Amino acid sequence: MNAFDRDMGRELAHLHYGDGEFAVLKHGQHVICAVSGVKIPLEALRYWSPEHQEAYAGPAEALKRWKDLNP
């Protein structure tokens, strides 16, 4: 195993996003940002949309998605 293999064992989590909280449907280490495609560790997840059931890496990505959906 080398430095590039570090993510091999880390699984994608499946969540249900609610208002102010999320429920884990399938355990995993991370989710994928709907805007940027970056991995977001569950312990760092702070931004998501309950309406669209999407996770965002940060406030900039959440705002971009909101602007895209609300022209």
Write the pLDDT tens digit of every residue in 31-54. Answer: 999 999 999 999 999 999 999 999
Tell me, letter by letter, the H, E, C secondary structure of 3-29.
HHHCCCCCCECEEEECCCCEEEEECCC
Neighbours of 29 (CB within 10 A): 15
pLDDT for the residue numbered 6: 53
Give dist(CA 54, CA 33) in Å, integer.
Answer: 7
Q: Is residue 1 scored above 70 in pLDDT?
A: no
Read off the tokens for 51: 């309406």
Give dist(CA 71, CA 54) in Å, integer.
Answer: 19
How large a percentage of the chain has pLDDT more than 90? 85
